[in-house]
Amino acid sequence: MENQYQNQQPLQDEIKLSDYVRIVLQYRYLIVLVFILVMAATIIYTARQDKIYSASSRIMLEDQNQGAEFLFMGAPGMGKNSINNQIEIIKSRPTLTLAWEIMKKYPDWDLFPIASHENPAGALGKVKVESKRETDLLTISIESTSPTEAQAAVNAIAEAIQQQNTQFARLEYTTIREFLETQLDAISRRLQASENDLREFKNLNRLTELTAETTKLIEQSSELEAELEASL
């Protein structure tokens, strides 16, 4: 009995497989038609999609903390900003808003798809900023359905960064100059007081040799005057 059942099992499998083949052959035209319709729909959908263009630009980060390190005499915590901080600054609202205003000066601005947006940060927020390992180079890239817009966007962002760096450098220069002028004035007053004390001391004791403190003050005053002239 068991042998008879085992002999019938392969026969049933064979019958089922033959049924499948028969069904496929019976509806082969319908299957081919469905396949053609799906392929045609996919091709039409893909063809109607807007093409995506990408543009990129590279910038080199500037060391913006040299003046700060000089100003605070190498105080701890005043080292270089990390690359990640610079990336976040580039993607921040002030930078993207400035880039938006720069883009509006392009002759083809009205033709850019981005011109219809009211939120600059949202429109340019898709910008990608990547760093190259062991370098100060950043790659700015953006995608758009318009190749002209994509190139204009990365150029505008790069120009916005340059303007911000220039503004920061001017502010830094002004701060350092004011700091040097303040220090020079303070040391000049101390030097004048020391000279007066020295003159009085010399008159009382009839000495002509300068004290170590007075000599040091004179040297500091000369160094600050030289630095101030160099910064101007």
Domain segments of the chain as ranges: 2-48, 53-62+81-170
> What is the predicted pLDDT for the residue at 202?
67
Residue 78 has pLDDT above 80, yes or no: no
> What is the predicted pLDDT for the residue at 79?
40
Give the other-Cβ count within 10 Å of 73's Cβ: 7
Tens-digit pLDDT profile for residues 201-223: 767 765 555 566 666 776 777 77
Bridge partners, residue 130, by sequence: 139
Q: For residue 167, what pLDDT band results from cuts at 50, 70 and 90? A: confident
> What is the predicted pLDDT for the residue at 135?
78
Q: For residue 146, what pLDDT band results from cuts at 50, 70 and 90? A: confident
pTM over 0.85: no
Residue 100's contacts (CB-CB under 8 Å, 6 or more residues apart) are 120, 123, 124, 156
> What is the predicted pLDDT for the residue at 55?
86
Cα dihedral 4/8/10/11 (nearest 10): 140
Residue 229 has pLDDT above 60, yes or no: yes
Q: What is the mean pLDDT of residues 20-45?
A: 84
Q: What is the mean pLDDT of residues 32-46?
A: 86
Say which CATH topology domain 53-62+81-170 has. Answer: Alpha-Beta Plaits (3.30.70)
Nearest to 79 by CA among 58, 90, 64: 64
Q: What is the mean pLDDT of residues 88-99?
A: 88
Q: For residue 30, what pLDDT band results from cuts at 50, 70 and 90? A: confident
Residue 55: phi, psi to the nearest 5? -135, 150
E strand or H helix at 151, and its extent? helix 147-205
In the chain, % of residues over pLDDT 90: 2
